[in-house]
Structure 1
Amino acid sequence: MKRKVCVVITARPSYARVKTALEAIRAHQGLELQLVVAASALLDRYGNALQVIEAEGFRVDRTVYMIVEGENLVTSAKSTGFGLAELATVFNDLKPDMVVSIADRYETIAASVAAAYMNIPLVHLQGGEVTGSIDEKTRHANTKLADIHLVCSESARVRVERMGERSDRVYLTGCPSIDLARQALEAEPRDLAALAAAYTGVGAPVDLARPYLVVMQHPVTTEYAEARRQTATTIDAIDALGVPTLWFWPNVDAGSDGASKAIRNARENGRLAHAHFYKNMRPLDFLSILVNSRGIVGNSSVALRECAFLGVPAVNVGSRQQGRDRGRNVVDVGHDAEAIATAVRRMWSSSERPRDLIYGDGHAGRRIADVLATAPLSIEKMLTY
C-alpha cells in the first residue's frame, strides 16, 4: 500500500523549496502525494502561488484560507491560530500517513502542531538552520515537533542532532530548491525577454539583453516597525544607481504593508523609473532571470541558498539572514544607502561568480522521496530512545 504524504505549502517560496520533491513523491511507486496549499500562497497580492502550482501540473487536494489582514504581529499570531484549526480538519479528512512541513514561516507551525497532536508523523524540511529572528524560533519549534528531519546542509545536521534529535531520524538530503538551480544552470539559453513578458508587472520595461539587477527585500519580523524606513533606504540606493532593475514584491510577514507603501510612494513620486515590479514567477523562470543577472540585492534567502550554487553575486542587506550559512557570493551591508550602492557598484563591475555547494548538489528531490518511502512511521517507536 502506498504511503500518503501530505505536503503543506503556505507561501510562494515554500513551493520553490519543495517542487522537485513533490515531483519525486508523485512519481514514486510507494508514495501518494496529497497537496495542501494555504495562507499567502493563495493570495493574489503575494503572487498567488496556487495558480503557478496548478499550471505546473500538480493536483491540489485542499486549500486553506487563514491569513488575517493587517500584516502585523497580532495578525500573524491570529493567522497561525486559524491555520491550526483549519489544518486539523484537513488532516482529519485526508488521513495522511505523514505530513511535511517546510522551513520557518509562522504559518508552518500551525501544520506542525496539528500533525503532532493528531499523532501523524511529521517530516520537517530545512531544519537546523539559523536566521536570527522569530523565524529561527519557529524553525527550531518545528524541529522539536517533527519525527523525521530532512536537512539541507552538514551544519544543519549537526544542529538538529545537538537539539536532541536521534541521528537515525536525521537525513542530509540537500535542498530541493538547489535541484531547480541546477536545472536553471544547465538549461539551454532562454529568451529572457519573452519569459519576462509572460508575467504581468508594472513599471519601466527592462531590456534583459543588457546587464540588469534583481531586488527582493522582505520585512524583518523582529524589526517590523522599521520595514518602511529600511525599504526606503534600499530604494534610495537603487534609485541613485539608475541601473535596469527587476524588483520582486515583499512577502506577507509583519511589516509587509510598510515595505509595500515605501515602494508605492517612490513610484508615485517618479522614482525607480528604471525598475519593473513583479509579484511572482514560476520558480524555474525566476532562477533563469537570476542566473543571467548581474546580481541580487535585498534580504531574501535565495541570495544565500540558490545563488551560492548558481554563483550569482549577492548584496545582503540588514539582519534578516543573520547566522545563515553563506558562500563567497555574498557581501553583507547594513541599512545604509551609500553602503548598498557601493557594494552594488563593485558587484556590477566584477566578473567573479564563485560557486559553493552549501545546500546540496541538485539531487535532493529523489533522495527525499526515497526517505519518505522507507523511514519508520510508528509514532510509538519514534518516541522511544
Structure 2
Amino acid sequence: MNRRKICVVTGTRAEYGLLYWLMKEIESDESFELQIAVTGMHLSPEFGLTYKLIEQDGFTIHEKIEMLLSSDTPVGIATSLGLGTIGFASAFDRLKPDIVVVLGDRFETMAATQAAMIARIPIAHLYGGEITEGVIDEAIRHSITKMAHYHFVSTDSYRKRVIQLGEHPERVFNVGAIGLDNIRKMKLLTKTEFENSIDFTLGELNFLVTYHPVTLDRIGPEETMVELFAALDHFPNAKIIFTKPNSDTDGRIISKMIDEYVSGNQSRSTSFTSLGQLRYLSAIQHVDLVIGNSSSGIIEVPSFKKATINLGSRQRGRFRTDSIIDCEEQRSSIINAIQWGISNDFQQKLQKLRSPYGEEYVSLKILEILKSVDYKDSLMKSFFDLRVEH
C-alpha cells in the first residue's frame, strides 16, 4: 500500500505547539508518511532557533525554508513573503507531498499556500473562518481559505463563514480548536517545577503578558506599551511574566520595550522569547490572569477558567466566552479590567464557564478525515453559491 505523504508546514513556536499532536498522530499512522517543512522564526537566532525544539521532540525535519529577513518593516515582511514562496516552490518539488497542511493566518503560511496551489497540491487549512479585524492576518486567513481544499474550523459559526466565502459544505469540518489537545494530553508542570524551569519565583498575584503588534493600526505600539506598563505598575505586588511577540511589523519595538521594563523591574518581572508549549500552558495554570492580545487568551485560556484581559482591536471579531474582558489600550481601562478580573465575583463566575471550542480530541478527528478524502479529485473546486433573496 502506498502511504500518503502529508507535509505539515510550521513557521512559529506557537503554531508548532498547536500542530504537535496532529503531527504525532500522522507519524504513528501506517497509512501516512509525515513530512515536516519549517520556516520563518524557527530558523532565526533572534527568535531562539526553535526548529531545534521540533528535533528534540523526536521529529525529522525534511525541509528548512529560509525566508525571514532581519526586518519587521512592511517592506521587509513583503520581501520575506516573496522569498518564502520561492523557497516553498522548490521544497514541494523535492518532497512531492500528496497534501499540505497549514494552520492560521501568518505570512509564512501564505507563502507555503501560494506555492502549493500553483504546484497543484491539495491544501488542508486549520483555523479558517475566524476574524481578527485589527491585523493583516484577517485578509491572509481568508485568502488561504480560498486557496485551500479542505477546511478544519473550530466552531460552527466559523464553519458558516467559510461556506459564506464559497467553500462547499462537504469540505468544511467543525472539529474544534486543536490547541485544546495540548491541555488534555500534556502533563503540565507543578508550580515548583514551573518556577525552576524559568528561574523565577511567583507571588500571591501573578500576570502572564503577551502583546503583539496591531498591524493595521496607523499608530505604532510605543504608546500602548507605555500605557500597559503604567497599568502594571498600579499592581506593585504582582509578579509578571512577559512572552515576546512574533516577527510581525513593529515586533522588535515591543521586544525592546519589554527588555527595558524588565531591566528596571527585575525583582517582579521576567521575559522570554519563547516559553514553549509546556511552559506556556503551565504558566496559564499558575498565574491569576492573562493580559494582552494573543489568540491564546481567547481560545486556550478559558479552558483553565482564568480571566483574559484583551487589549484593543487585534482579536476583534473572534468568538469569545464571558471570561474575556475587553478593554481599551489606556492605563485606566486596563487597571479597571485587571481589578474586575481578579475580583471574587468574577472568579466565581469563571468556575461556571465551559470552552466553546469543543471537547473531543481534535487531532484524531482531523486524522480520520484526512484518511477518508480523495486527494486526487480535490483540486477542482466549484464556488458554493448561497441563495440570496432580494
Q: Which residue is equivalent to 1:334?
A: 328
Q: Which residue is equivalent to 2:28?
A: 27
Q: Secondary structure at the match of 1:33?
A: strand
Spell out, residue by residue over 1:267-315, the C-alpha distance to the aligned partner (whole angstroms, 9 max, x if none).
Answer: 45x2464111112123133112202221100001000000122222100
Spell out, residue by residue over 1:5-54, the C-alpha distance to the aligned partner (whole angstroms, 9 max, x if none).
Answer: 00100111111221111111112221111011110122233243312222
Corresponding letter in the other structure for 1:23: K
Q: Is the 8 A contact 1:308 1:326 kept in 2?
A: no
- Residues in 1 aligned to 2:278 and 2:362: alpha-carbon distance in whole angstroms: 16
Q: Is the 8 A contact 1:309 1:358 kept in 2?
A: no
- Residues in 2 aligned to 1:326 and 1:141: alpha-carbon distance in whole angstroms: 23
Segment of structure 1 superposing worse, 124-133 or 233-242 = 233-242
> Is 2:213 the counterpart of 1:223?
no
- Residues in 1 aligned to 2:300 and 2:26: alpha-carbon distance in whole angstroms: 22
Q: Which residue is equivalent to 1:7?
A: 8
Q: Secondary structure at the match of 2:107?
A: coil
Instruction: Map 1:128-167 to 2 at 5 A.
Output: 128-132=129-133, 133-167=135-169
Unaligned runs of 5+ in 1: none
CA RMSD of superposed structures (Å): 1.9
> Is 2:269 the counterpart of 1:275?
yes
Q: Is the 8 A contact 2:40 2:68 kept in 1?
A: yes
Instruction: Map 1:107-186 to 2 at 5 A.
Output: 107-132=108-133, 133-183=135-185
> Is 2:373 the counterpart of 1:378?
no
Q: Which residue is equivalent to 2:315?
A: 321
Q: Secondary structure at the match of 1:107?
A: helix
Using the TM superposition, give the Cα deviation of residue 384 of structure 1 relative to its aligned residue in structure 2, in angstroms: 5.0
Q: Is the 8 A contact 1:238 1:272 kept in 2?
A: no
Corresponding letter in the other structure for 1:192: K
Spell out, residue by residue over 1:355-377, the C-alpha distance to the aligned partner (whole angstroms, 9 max, x if none).
Answer: 33322214100011111122121
Taking structure 2 as the reference length, the TM-score comes to 0.91
Corresponding letter in the other structure for 1:206: T
Q: Which residue is equivalent to 2:73?
A: 72
Using the TM superposition, give the Cα deviation of residue 224 of structure 1 relative to its aligned residue in structure 2, in angstroms: 6.4
- Residues in 2 aligned to 1:98 and 1:15: alpha-carbon distance in whole angstroms: 18
Spell out, residue by residue over 1:38-82, the C-alpha distance to the aligned partner (whole angstroms, 9 max, x if none).
Answer: 101222332433122222222111111211122111111111100
Q: Return the structure number with greater relative CO, CA threshold 8 A, min gap 6.
A: 1
Q: Is the 8 A contact 1:316 1:331 kept in 2?
A: yes
| Sequence identity (%) | 29
Q: Which residue is equivalent to 1:308?
A: 302
Q: Is the 8 A contact 1:80 1:109 kept in 2?
A: yes
- Residues in 1 aligned to 2:39 and 2:197: alpha-carbon distance in whole angstroms: 25
Q: Secondary structure at the match of 2:131?
A: coil
Unaligned runs of 5+ in 2: 384-390
Q: Secondary structure at the match of 2:338?
A: helix
- Residues in 1 aligned to 2:279 and 2:372: alpha-carbon distance in whole angstroms: 33
Length, aligned pairs only: 376
- Residues in 1 aligned to 2:294 and 2:321: alpha-carbon distance in whole angstroms: 14
Taking structure 1 as the reference length, the TM-score comes to 0.92
